[in-house]
Every structure is written in C-alpha cells, then in structure tokens.
Structure 1
Amino acid sequence: MVSTIDRNSLLLHIHDESKIIIAKRLIDKIEIVIKNHIIVSTDFLDPYEIRIAESILNKFDTINYKIDGGYINCERSIIYIYPSYLHEIKEDEISLLSYKNDNNYTHRDILGSLIGLKIERKKIGDIVLDDDCFFIFIKSELHDFVKTNLEKVSKYNIYCIDKEFQEPKKEYIEKKVIVSSLRLDVIISNALNISRANSNDIVKSKAVKVNFKTEDKGSVMLNPKDIISVRKFGRIYFDEIIGKSKKDKYIINLKFPK
C-alpha cells in the first residue's frame, strides 16, 4: 500500500488518453481525502472506468470507498471516497427523477434531451425505461435544474411524476449463430448480418467497445458474458457457447436488448 502519491506509477497501466484524464481527477480526489479528512465523490463512471478507479483506490490503505449507482444492478455509478477510519457515510450524491413515458421514448431520445440542456454526460447516471415511465439517475447538484428545465423529449412535452423506482426485468431477443472463431470481428459480422470486411472496418474506426473498453482490433478473442457495444447498432451480449458443430465450429447464443 502507498502512503504518498506517485502519479506516474498509478497511471502506468492506463493507455487510453480519455481514461487517463478521469484517473487524474480521481487521484486529485484521493489527495483531498488524505489531506483534509473529508468525504468526496466522483462523477458517474461506466464499468470499465470503475475498474480503472478500483485499481488505483486499492493501492491506498488510508482511504475506503463505496460504489453506488442508485440501485443494485446499475451500470453507471459514482464512487464515494473517505478516510478509512469512517465506518458509515451519508450517501446523498444521487437523485432520481421519474417521468411519464407516453411516446415510447428511447434511451437515446432521453439522453439527447439532457445533453441538449448542456449537461455533461458524466453527471448523468442510468436512464431506465419501464412500460409507461422512465427514470433518470443524476448527480444531486443538478436535480432542481433538470426538474425545472427538462420539458421535452424529442418534440413531445413531458412531466415529472411521483413513482417509486422498481428495477424492470430486462428482456432480450436471442439469436443462435455458428461461427468459425470467437474473434470480435467474426461475432459482430454474424450478429449484425454484415460482411467480415465491414465488421473489421467498424472495429478499426473505434466504434466498438468490449466490456465498455474501446477496442480497435478485430482479432481480439471474446468470452461468454462479454458485452459488445457497436455505435449506431446497439449492444450484443455474448451469452454462452452452446457447443460445436459437425464441422468443429462454435455454436453460440447472443442476446440483444429489446
């Protein structure tokens, strides 16, 4: 465990410039906690950024941390960082807003409306769609601003409702495919019914993330439970390997969110 902060050594394992910026902000917060003995929190981080943050936080024995996104199976979370001698902390940095969903808004519609209010993505947590409403998890500092100013999604008026959050059951469309290998470009090609060359071009353009990490090599091998995000196409969940075909190819099951 380290007691003094050597920034360079803490950043050695991070190669993505955008993630280095996030890691530097995290180290700034760690310094504040160590020097001032106070509780601080990060902005919302995706699961890959959380993994990077934990790899740094775990090197310090004078601080503790807690990850929270507002509900159990959240995707985006904030991290509370506090002195190790504190056993309980007040978790009040996340607010929840609920709205009626009368027009089948998509996640992209709602996020676009929030970004249109000049709200930074890092201030926005999960956006959860239910049958007739949607929920927005957001940094508490922006609660009143969003409640006052988020009046439209797409071209339709929206309004806040008072509804208790219950995590909806996730539903998927499943697709069984036969692939020659578990390479990223092969699985994307079969999942999206596009050519291998087109799949490779998409990957090389840095439009693909694997487990929330940008991946630009089609040759990367995937494993069951990996999450693939393809810009403009959406998400693909590599569910499982079912078996092998007579020609010794992989039979795999993929899931697509409804």
Structure 2
Amino acid sequence: MDANVYQHFRSEERPFIDTVEDWIEQVNMQYAPVLTEFLDPRQAFILETLVRQESELKFRFFGGYEEAERSRCLIFPNYYEPSQEDFEIDLFNVHYPKKFTVLSHGKILGSLVGTGIRREFLGDIISDGENWQVFIAKEISSYVQLQLSKIGNVKVRLEELSYVDILIPKDGWTNENTTVSSLRLDNVISTVFNISRQRAKQLTETGKVKVNWAPTQRPDFVLDLLDIVSIRGFGRLQIQVIEGTTKKGKIRLDLGVLRK
C-alpha cells in the first residue's frame, strides 16, 4: 500500500482502504472477479478511486435496482463480462398485517440486524408507503428468511421475489443548494434543517445522528463527498457535490435532502 493514499481520506477509513487493496490484489493474483459486500456511497467512492488507479482492472456497481443507495461492487479483469447474476442479490417482500401496524425503515433494519447478520450483507430497504421490500446478499438470504419472524411484536414473513416485482419507491428526496461556513457535522445539520447549532450539537452528542449508517457523537466530525447523514426526527441528507467557495469563504454544496 502506498502510504500517500491514506492522506486523501479520513484516518478512520484506513481499514476499509486496506480491504479494498486486498480485493484488488486478489483480482490481480487470481485473474478472476471479486464481489464485495454492500457498500454505502462513501465506501463506493473510495473503492472507485482506488480501482481507477489500476489500469488493468474494471468495476461495476449494482444494488438490485438502478437508483440503489447501497450496492455491491464487482471488481474484474479486462476480459470478464459481468452479468446481473454475478452480484448475488436476493429481493424479498415483507409480509405483515397492514391493518394493525405500521412499519418503518428503522424497525425493519433493526430486526434484520437483530438476526445476527452484519449491515454489510443488507442492501436498500424500500417502500411505496405501504409495502416494504429488502435486498439481501444471496449468501445469507436463506438464513435471514428463516430467522426473521417478527418485527417488534408483529409477526412477519419474508417472501422472495423476482426483480420484475420491485416496487417503485416512494422517495421524498429533494435536491437543494446551500452554503455553509464549514463542513462540521453540527454546522451542516444546523444549516440544512434550520435549527440552532446548539440543538444540532445536542442531537449528535445524545446519539441521534448517524453518518453513513454508523452512530457518531462527534459534532466536530468533518463531512465529505457522498456522506449520508441521518438525524432522528428530522430526516437525512447527502453531500452530492462540493462546488467550491464563495467570495466570503463559504462552501457551496449540492445536497440530497429527505425531510420527515
């Protein structure tokens, strides 16, 4: 590993960088494709950056549908022609008593992780407002199907579907532009959701904020390109483009925002 690679990313991202380097080495040594687990957008950005330095290798992302937020990546030699089946993703519908309960992304994810599997084996959880579907890595999908019988106190059942049965997600994401004085986590939350900096800091320190699905209690955490921030009770945001600075030194951002 060229130590200079690390300087372009956060220190806490070094273990993932090392993992990507291992995947790249495996493809080069075996001259055969390597399939990753599900990656968040930030991880996908890091992987793409590193693989592009390898002129002999190619890559492709797929998360089960075109606009997937979390996706698996296939890294492969020039000769290989990947197919959709190579990504080994199963789609499941969540059957539950709709008359008696309301499900949410958080409830479903919590119950899935509660079966003992790691988040990296789970793709997107999508809904049309009433029906829910989840994408799961094929290697553990049968296990999850057997283990998941309840979400909270509600009995549920996972039914495997074909890709032609993917529902159209009800997506409230909007594209927004703003300027911020810094990319500190509390500052961006405060600006986007129009709350005080102190309130944003409090939300972070009390465990109500996640960055790329990982809890953080650091208000001074510096965000970067393609980071996704989830704020309990407020919604989510993603930094999609960092456009530069204004004459007054503020940072221009293009954002995806999902407000509750």
TM class, shorter-length: 0.7 to 0.9
For residue 26 of structure 1, the aligned residue among 20, 31, 39 is: 20
Instruction: Extract unaligned runs of 5+ from structure 2.
Output: 241-254
> How does 1:112-191 map onto structure 2 within 5 Å?
112-161=110-159, 164-171=165-172, 185=186, 188-189=189-190
Change (3 A) 1:235 1:24: same
RMSD (Å) for aligned C-alpha atoms: 4.0
Change (3 A) 1:254 1:8: closer
1:51 matched to 2:49: no
1:98 is displaced (CA, Å) by 1.0
For residue 79 of structure 2, the aligned residue among 63, 75, 85 is: 85
Normalised by the length of structure 2, the TM-score is 0.74
Normalised by the length of structure 1, the TM-score is 0.74
Distance 1:22 1:66 in 2: 18
1:153 is displaced (CA, Å) by 0.7
Given that 2:34 and 2:75 are in contact with CA atoms closer than 8 Å, whether structure 1 keeps it comes out as yes
Given that 1:189 and 1:199 are in contact with CA atoms closer than 8 Å, whether structure 2 keeps it comes out as yes
Distance 1:73 1:186 in 2: 28
Given that 1:210 and 1:228 are in contact with CA atoms closer than 8 Å, whether structure 2 keeps it comes out as yes
Given that 1:96 and 1:135 are in contact with CA atoms closer than 8 Å, whether structure 2 keeps it comes out as yes
- Aligned-partner SS, 2:158: coil
Instruction: Extract unaligned runs of 5+ from structure 1.
Output: 1-5, 240-252
Distance 2:49 2:175 in 1: 34
Distance 1:143 1:129 in 2: 19
Distance 1:148 1:57 in 2: 37
1:138 is displaced (CA, Å) by 1.1
Q: What residue number does 1:13 align with?
A: 8
Q: What residue number does 1:70 align with?
A: 64
Percent sequence identity is 28
Distance 2:44 2:160 in 1: 31
Counterpart AA for 2:90: S
Change (3 A) 1:254 1:159: closer
Change (3 A) 1:150 1:55: same
1:47 is displaced (CA, Å) by 0.4
Q: What residue number does 2:245 align with?
A: none
Q: C-alpha offsets along residues 223-250 of structure 1, whole Å, 9 cap, x if unaligned?
A: 9x996433564314689xxxxxxxxxxx
Given that 1:170 and 1:257 are in contact with CA atoms closer than 8 Å, whether structure 2 keeps it comes out as no
